[in-house]
Structures are given as structure tokens and as C-alpha cells.
């Protein structure tokens, strides 16, 4: 039972993020969550937001929240694959669910209960905080014409997609968002994926790479997380818990809507103003990447019982939603334009 708090006594929390300070969309959404919580609680719960490096390193968010150094974190769960293999399924699965279906699995298909189970040993409560929608395939300084072009390629790509690249003969490198451009420009990496045109234009990747590929096979609907230290969460009164929950729901919708509203305008600027060469991955490449993705997913599930449990739930939901999509989304897409 949560202890009683004096209603006029404010509670002060800290939130650390994986994103640079005031980073477009992702950093903004963390700040908005803090703003919404303060407004809805009438100042009873105040959250100070810290960008990557201001309090902890970009990839130190998980440990900081787990240990109770801070109360909250804003990130993506695939960054913790080395600590918690099953966590990456709650961010993005190659050739997996899009944003709409990802939300459905997590919120209404049993995913959240599994996510809570995965994070419980780490003293964490997970909440959904956003989604990118289907991402772009990445920035490259050479054309990708066949699977041979992945051999020896040094690419910034996290999570399960990184494991697929490695199986294809490439080198997956995990670099925080604020360091990507410098690494690409200096040749530390040969290629990078990030999110989509709106972010990529702002980050200036067109200055450091020649070809812009689609689709984002590796991240078809990447979910972001708001993690809360479980002990801190349990001390909150029920109404403040509900307010934090509501703010995370609002952020989930806002992030996806912001990307969807602005990506195409940014893409057209990249093509027309900055002369970026937009390229589609060849069908044969996508077929091979899909095959390798299944091999990677099976291997991850085989090596870790919790990953097996999560993956089985994911597959069951995927098969169910795909059957529904065939008679709704898929058919509609063929005839939606006037």
C-alpha cells in the first residue's frame, strides 16, 4: 500500500535520458512528460529532466534507474540487450510489428505483463513512451546491391537488427545518438541507421553519407520506454501513479504523430535541396535479411528462457494481427489514393 503524502508537499524526481539535451522529438517528449505530470498533479510531482551526459552517460540510464540513483529513465529497451536479452523485443523486431500493432501487442495483447515480468528483477516498472513508426533503412557511402555489400560493413545499428547485420558479415556498432554524425563523418563507421527523415535532416547525415535507403526492415515500429524505479513508484499515491501513466500514454501518441506529420516534408528537402540519393533495398537483399532475421530471433529465443517466452507471445500476436491486416490494412493500401 502506498504511503500517504501531504497533498501540499511536492515530490521531486529526476529523469535521465539516452538522448542529447533537448533532442528533437525524443528529448522533447521526455520534457513534455515532466510538464504534463506537473500540470496534472498541480505541482505535487515535479520531474527534472537530464539529457545524456548531464547526470549519467547516454547508455547508463538503465543502471541509474535500477539502482535508484534517479527515479525515472527515458530510452529504448534494445539498448539493454547485453544485460536483459528479452528486453529488445519491446523496442523493435526486424520484419516485425509496425507501430499500430506494437502498441496493440504491448497494451492489449499481453506484452506489457511480460515486460513487467522481464524488468521486475531489476527493480523497474516499464511504461510506453512513444514510437517512431516505420524507420528508414539507413545512410550508406556505397550502394547496397547484394548481400556481399554488407561484408565488413561497420554500421551503427542496435538491438536485433545489429545481430542480423553481424550474421550478414557486417560489424554492428552501438553508438549513442549524439555521437553518430561525428563517427560517420570521420569514417569510424561506414553507415548508420537512426530514425527517419525528420531527425536525419536535423542531424545532418546528408553531409556525411551519399545514399539513403528504405525501408527500415530492422525497425518497423520502434517503441520507446519510460522506466520508473519500482520502489519509488510504489511510494507514489495512486492518483500520481495514474497521472504518470496518463502522461506516458499521451507521449506514446504524440511521438508517433510528430514523426508521421513531419517525415515526408523532411524527406523531400533531403532529396530536392540536399540532392540525397534515395535508394530502395533490392528485393533479393530484403528476402535474405528476412531469412537471417528469423535465424537470429530463433537463436536469441533458444539461448534465453525469458526471451523464448516473450518471443512466443510476440509470434502468436503477430500471426493473429497479420491475418486481420490482410483483410483491412493491406487491401486498403492498394486502393487508398483517389
Q: Is residue 337 part of a domain?
A: no
Percent residues over pLDDT 90 in the chain:
92
Question: What is the secondary structure of 112-146 as a DSSP string?
Answer: HHHHHHHHGGGTEEEEEEEE--S---EEESS---S
Residue 151: give its domain's CATH number.
3.40.190.10
The reported pLDDT for the residue numbered 175 is 82
Cell, residue 312: 512466443
For the chain, the farthest-separated pair of C-alpha atoms sits apart, in whole angstroms, at 64
Whether the pLDDT of residue 70 is over 60: the answer is yes
Residues 23 and 92 in one domain: yes
Residue that has been written with the C-alpha cell 533495398 in this structure:
281
- If you count them, how many residues does the chain have? 338
Per residue in 146-172, pLDDT tens? 999 999 999 999 999 999 999 999 999
For residue 160, what are the domain limits? 138-219+265-321
Residue 227: give its domain's CATH number.
3.40.190.170
Residue that has been written with the C-alpha cell 547525415 in this structure:
205
Residues 63 and 124 in one domain: yes
Q: Is residue 109 part of a domain?
A: yes
Whether the pLDDT of residue 2 is over 50: the answer is no
Residues 117 and 127 in one domain: yes
Helix segments in the chain, DSSP class H: 26-40, 61-67, 99-108, 111-119, 159-167, 180-185, 197-203, 230-235, 238-272, 283-303, 305-327, 329-335
Helices 111-119 and 305-327: angle between axes, nearest 10 degrees:
160
Question: Is residue 27 packed enough to be buried (19+ CB in 10 Å), middle (13-18) or exposed (0-12)?
Answer: buried
Residues 243 and 292 in one domain: no
User: Which residues, 6+ apart, have CB-to-CB distance to 118 below 8 Å?
Assistant: 84, 86, 87, 90, 306, 310
Domain count across the chain: 2
Whether the pLDDT of residue 1 is over 60: the answer is no
Global model pTM greater than 0.75? yes
Closest CA to 142 of 129, 127, 153: 153
Whether the pLDDT of residue 95 is over 70: the answer is yes
On whether the CB atoms of residues 80 and 122 are closer than 8 A, the answer is: no
The reported pLDDT for the residue numbered 271 is 97
Residues 183 and 275 in one domain: yes
Per residue in 233-282, pLDDT tens? 999 999 999 999 999 999 999 999 999 999 999 999 999 999 999 999 99
Amino acid at each position: 500500500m502506498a504511503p500517504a503524502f501531504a497533498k501540499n508537499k511536492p515530490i521531486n524526481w529526476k529523469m535521465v535520458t539516452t538522448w542529447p539535451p533537448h533532442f528533437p522529438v525524443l528529448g522533447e517528449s521526455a520534457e513534455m512528460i515532466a510538464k504534463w505530470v506537473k500540470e496534472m498533479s498541480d505541482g505535487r510531482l515535479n520531474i527534472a529532466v537530464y539529457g545524456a551526459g548531464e547526470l549519467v552517460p547516454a547508455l547508463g540510464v538503465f543502471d541509474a534507474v535500477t539502482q535508484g540513483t534517479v527515479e525515472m529513465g527515458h530510452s529504448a529497451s534494445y539498448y539493454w540487450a547485453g544485460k536483459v536479452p528479452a528486453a529488445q523485443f519491446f523496442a523493435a523486431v526486424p520484419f516485425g510489428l509496425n507501430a499500430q500493432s506494437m502498441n496493440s501487442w504491448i497494451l492489449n495483447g499481453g506484452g506489457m505483463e511480460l515486460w513487467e515480468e522481464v524488468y521486475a528483477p531489476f527493480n523497474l516498472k516499464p511504461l510506453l513512451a512513444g514510437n517512431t513508426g516505420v524507420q528508414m533503412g539507413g545512410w550508406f557511402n556505397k550502394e547496397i546491391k547484394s548481400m556481399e555489400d554488407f561484408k565488413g560493413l561497420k554500421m551503427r545499428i542496435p538491438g536485433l537488427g545489429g545481430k542480423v547485420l553481424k550474421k550478414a558479415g557486417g560489424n554492428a556498432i552501438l553508438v549513442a545518438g549524439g555521437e553518430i554524425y561525428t563517427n560517420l563523418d570521420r569514417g569510424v563507421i561506414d553507415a548508420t541507421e537512426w530514425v527517419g527523415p525528420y531527425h536525419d535532416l536535423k542531424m545532418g547525415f546528408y553531409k556525411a553519407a551519399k545514399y539513403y535507403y528504405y525501408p527500415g526492415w530492422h525497425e518497423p515500429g520502434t517503441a520507446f520506454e519510460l522506466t520508473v524505479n519500482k520502489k519509488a513508484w510504489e511510494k507514489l499515491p495512486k492518483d500520481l501513479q495514474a497521472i504518470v501513466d496518463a502522461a506516458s500514454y499521451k507521449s506514446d501518441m504524440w511521438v508517433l504523430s510528430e514523426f508521421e506529420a513531419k517525415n515526408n516534408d523532411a524527406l523531400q528537402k533531403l532529396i530536392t535541396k540536399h540532392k540525397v540519393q534515395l535508394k530502395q533495398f533490392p528485393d533479393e537483399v530484403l528476402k535474405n535479411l528476412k531469412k537471417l532475421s528469423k535465424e537470429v530471433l530463433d537463436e536469441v529465443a533458444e539461448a534465453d528462457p525469458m526471451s523464448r517466452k516473450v518471443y512466443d507471445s510476440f509470434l502468436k500476436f503477430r500471426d493473429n494481427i497479420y491475418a486481420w491486416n490482410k483483410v483491412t490494412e493491406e487491401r486498403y493500401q492498394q486502393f487508398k489514393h483517389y
